[in-house]
């Protein structure tokens, strides 16, 4: 057992974590694929002149036997009697043990040793496996091959595997404790088949067609199960692998990618979700594990899982065969509707102040914004401040401020609601009888939140519904006239400033990355209902969302800061430091999460921490605003200095930020149409061009609906290369309509000269992009950008759609005419006039035509057609 927590073990260690956020350190260190070559000790000796003579006399006496040992024994290329070998290419080597070792150490733990890299790695097949020499049709229990793990811990004697056929395209493989209850359904007609071998135990899933492609195998690594430590591995493809918080996982033969999946303040957005490409088809996988999970991808695309909690590891496979199919299958038809206002701009203020008076002064000094935005939080710490003191005068001013915000200014009030409850506050005293808070020993565990002692509810507790009902009543007491329009469940990984995870001799398998990830959140071994919180840690935010929605009502609009693969609510990533590295990470993470996690995900524009220097971050902040114009969630939320457009000293930065907001609102209805059709908004290029492997590694370039967008991700860039997929013969530059005809050239990459204020975008031929201008007080103007697709007979056409309310307008254009079809559903508020105002037509011959209209879309019953004037 690990050592229990003591009072002195939950304070911040004298050795700080460092100033860099964990996500940045992961980018710069753990994802640094260039492995430095270590200088050989023999090489050093040979270059010392005083030792050369003596050394040469020893060559045959010492060095030759050593080299013989090194090549024939130390690297172990000869197979053992049981058919296991150390002749494993670097791309398949899974590390074994807890430290760099030597030959004696590695062999003592039943593993191989490479003297060059000082690496202990597993035999192939591994000596750590489970087996059953007499399988039957009944429930099969598998036995361990060895008694001790590489860490000297007793291995679990028995283990089980269950295969649950979810539906015709999804199958779940569960490695679990034999005592655990696991569903095992069967499906008669399915697009896969599977096999489980018994000696040794491994699972393989095949595509159920003539190709018989292996979609998943667990045969290429160890199976190690001990108390609080599970290790398993799988391979989906030897071609292209995507996921794990980024787009393409592209490793050289001497590098690996490691990610720690454990909700914490620096990285609460990475999900263990993958998509694989093999033989022209795609398939996907979700790893389900509620505790800390370290995921390592080897250059062979062999994935090693190391879990520190739970009674199972679940691999959920979707067969595809296209990226769209994979995502739909993973979501199992669950697509949340998107409200139009959600896709506007949202504003918040962050900081460490907890006094209501200071928060009001901060808001009043920051009010009077001239740019458009949909919601305001007043301040992120408002609830915590209200729980500390209730000066009647300040509370009255707060309520008046919120009333003015919602009634006079027409904005929604978005209340930030953290799970942390101040210790000895009125709400804590009113709920402690429910006993829902995590405990350390026999007392409610007290962590730190903004340097204040707080407690944490457990959202699986039997009395949690009573707790949340009292929470609802507390909110009604603060806001008696009307509850907030929106709740942001923030800091719900959950944040605990007091806890520093330390490496322990009883927890030898903790990597440095995992130690950092388990810090600044709840200690692993606080309990509730006698259950360690580590067992549910990665589900904490999702459990809170589920509970709050059930009590506050299904109509409540919830945003969350923490999520898992099944979250349907919008997700806002918090605690982001501004840097060019993090800007690129934000793009990659948004692309990843918008297709794998949830389509409504956003990063704070220009970062959210105090690490902002106007002189050095101006250019980056402009670029971040331009990127945010296409992000699913556009939220400006930061500590001081603020990052809203009017806070900048530079007029160029302010103007660029305002232009980005204007563009966002013009594209908002188009985004609304995409998301309500069930498609993700921002998506990596391979999603729309699955058979073009030139798109696989693109990050700075992505698709927003049909629009291709590219951003520079380095400071001072004046030249930008854009890849135009050749499956589209003609691409049109978004603003001027310049045509790039790829049908007569082999070139698919163009180079543009850019300014730092440019928004670079293209639309494919055959596409209509609607823009909606809401600047006119009397009517809303609808404008179309038409990129014509012309065949050899000069017949040209394009199509697109626009959703208003629940009605869908479908546009079809030729070179001479425009037709609109209307699909009526529940309709929309026809008191708002939506007027088709202008059509901009792009043609292959680089001619541009503007056509003017004044057609009220509400007057179209089913169809409408008109020639261009």
CATH of residue 181's domain is 2.60.40.1760
Segment holding 514, helix H or strand E: helix 512-517
Classify residue 506: in a domain, yes or no: yes
C-alpha distance from residue 402 to each of 17, 358, 394, 481, 711 (Å) = 39, 16, 12, 11, 37
State the DSSP H helix or E strand holding residue 375, giving kind and residue range, or none if neither.
strand 375-376
Identify whether residues 320 and 428 lie together within a single domain.
no
CATH code of the domain containing 829: 2.60.40.1180
| 304 belongs to a structural domain | yes
**pLDDT over 60 (residue 31):** no
Check residue 23 and give its pLDDT.
29
In this structure, the number of other CB atoms found within 10 A of the CB of residue 230 comes to 25
- Confirm whether 685 is domain-assigned: no
Q: Identify whether residues 5 and 149 lie together within a single domain.
A: no
Assess whether 452 and 303 both reside in one domain.
no
In a domain, 156, yes or no: yes
Residues 313 and 432 in one domain: no
Domain boundary among 501, 518, 553: 553
Tokens coding 477:
């007491």
Q: Give the whole-angstrom CA distance, residue 635 versus residue 606.
A: 10
Radius of gyration of the chain (CA): 29
Condensed to tens digits (0 to 9), the pLDDT of residues 491-521 reads 999 999 999 988 766 677 778 888 888 899 9
CA distances from 850 to 497, 776, 834, 843, 867 (A): 58, 20, 19, 12, 12
CATH code, domain carrying 521: 3.20.20.80
Report DSSP letters for 4-66, one per residue.
PP-GGGSSPPSS---SS-HHHHIIIIIT---PPPPPPHHHHHHT-HHHHHHHHHHIIIIIHHH
- Give the domain-ending residue among 529, 553, 577: 553
pLDDT of 671 strictly over 60: yes
Q: How far is CA 83 from the centre of its chain?
A: 41
Domain membership flag for residue 53:
no
- pLDDT of residue 290 exceeding 90: no
Q: What is the largest CA-CA distance in the chain?
A: 100
Residues 327 and 453 in one domain: no
Whether residue 310 sits in one domain with residue 191: yes
One domain, residues 168 and 311: yes
What SS3 state is found at 765? coil
Buried b (16+ CB within 10 A) or exposed e, 766-779: bbbbbbbbeeeeee
Its domain, for residue 160, covers 130-331
Is pLDDT at 185 greater than 70 in this prediction?
yes
Residue 138 belongs to a domain: yes
Q: Has residue 100 got a pLDDT over 80?
A: no
Same domain, 31 and 139: no
Q: Is residue 273 part of a domain?
A: yes
Helix, coil or strand: residue 211: coil
Confidence of residue 139 (pLDDT cuts 50, 70, 90): low
Domain count, the chain: 3
Domain boundary pick from 553, 578, 606: 553
Q: How far apart are CA 829 and CA 796, in angstroms?
A: 35
- Whether 373 maps to a domain, the answer reads no
Q: Of the ranges 15-29, 103-117, 338-352, which one carries the lowest mean pLDDT score?
A: 15-29
pLDDT computed for residue 554 by the predictor: 66
Regarding whether 299 and 160 lie in a shared domain, the answer is yes
| Residue 309 and residue 200 share a domain | yes
| CA–CA dist 214, 203 (Å, integer) | 11
List of E strands, 669-805: 682-684, 701-704, 707-710, 719-723, 730-733, 739-741, 749-753, 760-764, 767-773, 780-787, 789-790, 796-804
780-830, pLDDT tens digit by residue? 999 999 999 998 767 999 999 999 999 999 999 999 999 999 998 877 777
pLDDT score, position 847: 81
Q: pLDDT band for position 389 (50/70/90)?
A: confident
48 has pLDDT over 80: no
In this structure, the answer to whether residues 166 and 295 fall within a common structural domain is yes
| Average pLDDT rounded to a whole number, residues 11-26 | 32
């Amino acid at each position: 057992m690990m050592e229990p927590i003591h009072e002195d073990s939950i304070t911040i260690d004298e050795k700080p974590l460092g100033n860099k956020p964990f996500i940045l350190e992961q980018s710069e260190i753990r994802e640094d694929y260039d492995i430095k070559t270590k200088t050989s000790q023999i090489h050093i000796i040979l270059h010392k002149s005083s030792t050369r003579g003596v050394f040469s006399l020893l060559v045959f006496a010492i060095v030759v036997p050593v080299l013989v040992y090194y090549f024939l024994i130390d690297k172990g290329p000869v197979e053992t009697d049981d058919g296991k070998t150390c002749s494993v290419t670097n791309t398949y080597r899974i590390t074994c043990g807890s430290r760099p070792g030597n030959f004696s150490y590695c062999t003592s733990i039943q593993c191989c040793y490479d003297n060059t890299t000082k690496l202990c790695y597993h035999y192939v097949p591994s000596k750590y496996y489970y087996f059953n020499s007499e399988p039957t049709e009944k429930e099969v229990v598998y036995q361990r091959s060895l008694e001790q793990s590489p860490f000297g811990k007793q291995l679990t004697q028995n283990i089980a595997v269950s295969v649950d056929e979810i539906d015709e395209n999804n199958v779940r493989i569960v490695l679990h404790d034999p005592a655990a209850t696991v569903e095992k359904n069967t499906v008669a007609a399915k697009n896969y088949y599977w096999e489980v071998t018994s000696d040794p135990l491994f699972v393989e899933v095949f595509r159920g067609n003539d190709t018989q492609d292996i979609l998943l195998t667990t045969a290429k690594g160890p199976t190690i199960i001990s108390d609080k430590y599970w290790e398993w591995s799988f391979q989906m493809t030897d071609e292209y692998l995507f996921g794990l918080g980024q787009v393409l996982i592209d490793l050289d033969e001497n590098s690996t990618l490691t990610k720690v999946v454990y909700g914490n303040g620096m990285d609460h957005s990475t999900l263990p979700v993958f998509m694989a490409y093999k033989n022209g088809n795609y398939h996907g996988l979700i790893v389900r594990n509620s505790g800390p999970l370290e995921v390592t991808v080897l250059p062979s695309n062999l994935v090693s899982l190391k879990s520190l909690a739970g009674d199972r590891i679940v691999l959920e496979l979707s067969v595809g065969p296209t990226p769209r199919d994979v995502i739909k299958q993973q979501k199992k038809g669950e697509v949340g509707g998107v409200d139009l206002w959600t896709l506007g701009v949202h504003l918040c203020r962050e900081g460490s102040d907890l006094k209501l008076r200071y928060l009001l002064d901060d808001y009043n000094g920051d009010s009077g914004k001239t740019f458009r935005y949909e919601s305001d939080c007043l301040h992120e710490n408002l609830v915590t401040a209200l729980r500390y003191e209730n000066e009647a005068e300040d509370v009255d001013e707060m309520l008046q401020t919120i009333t003015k915000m919602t009634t006079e200014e027409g904005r929604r009030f978005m209340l930030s609601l953290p799970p942390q409850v101040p210790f000895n506050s009125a709400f804590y005293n009113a709920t402690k009888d429910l006993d829902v808070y995590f405990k350390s020993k026999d007392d409610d565990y007290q962590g730190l939140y903004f340097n204040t002692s707080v407690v944490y509810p457990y959202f699986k507790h039997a009395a949690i519904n009573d707790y949340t009902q009292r929470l609802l009543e507390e909110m009604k007491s603060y806001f008696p006239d009307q509850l907030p329009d929106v709740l942001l469940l923030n800091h719900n990984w959950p944040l605990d400033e007091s806890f520093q995870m330390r490496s322990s001799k009883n927890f030898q398998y903790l990597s440095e990355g995992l130690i950092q990830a388990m810090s600044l959140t709840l200690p692993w071994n606080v309990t509730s209902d006698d259950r360690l919180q580590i067992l549910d840690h990665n589900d904490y935010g999702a459990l809170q969302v589920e509970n709050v929605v059930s009590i506050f009502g299904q109509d409540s609009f919830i945003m969350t800061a923490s999520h898992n693969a099944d979250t349907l609510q919008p997700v806002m990533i918090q605690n982001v430091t501004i840097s060019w590295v993090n800007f690129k990470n934000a793009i990659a993470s948004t692309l990843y999460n918008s297709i794998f996690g949830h389509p409504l995900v956003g990063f704070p524009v220009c970062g959210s921490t105090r690490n902002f220097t106007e002189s050095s971050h101006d250019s980056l902040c402009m670029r971040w605003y331009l990127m945010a114009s296409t992000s699913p969630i556009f939220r400006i939320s930061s500590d001081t200095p603020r990052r809203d457009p009017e806070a900048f000293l530079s007029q160029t930065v302010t103007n660029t930020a305002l232009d980005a907001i204007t563009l966002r609102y013009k594209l908002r209805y188009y985004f609304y149409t995409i998301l309500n059709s069930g498609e993700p908004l921002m998506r990596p290029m391979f999603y729309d061009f699955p058979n073009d492997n030139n798109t696989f590694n693109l990050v700075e370039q992505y698709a927003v609906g049909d629009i291709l967008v590219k951003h520079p991700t380095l400071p001072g860039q004046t030249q930008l290369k854009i890849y135009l997929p050749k499956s589209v013969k003609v691409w049109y530059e978004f603003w001027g309509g310049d045509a790039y005809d790829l049908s007569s050239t082999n070139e698919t990459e163009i180079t543009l000269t850019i300014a730092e204020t440019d928004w670079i975008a293209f639309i494919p031929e055959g596409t209509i992009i609607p823009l909606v201008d809401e600047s006119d007080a009397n009517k809303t103007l609808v404008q179309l950008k038409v990129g014509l697709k012309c065949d050899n007979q000069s017949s040209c056409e394009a199509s697109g759609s626009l959703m208003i309310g629940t009605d869908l307008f479908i546009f079809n254009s030729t070179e001479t005419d425009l037709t609109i079809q209307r699909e009526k559903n529940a309709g929309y508020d026809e008191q708002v006039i939506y007027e088709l105002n202008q059509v901009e037509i792009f043609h292959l011959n680089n001619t541009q035509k503007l056509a003017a209209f004044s057609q009220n879309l509400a007057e179209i019953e089913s169809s409408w057609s008109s020639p261009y004037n």
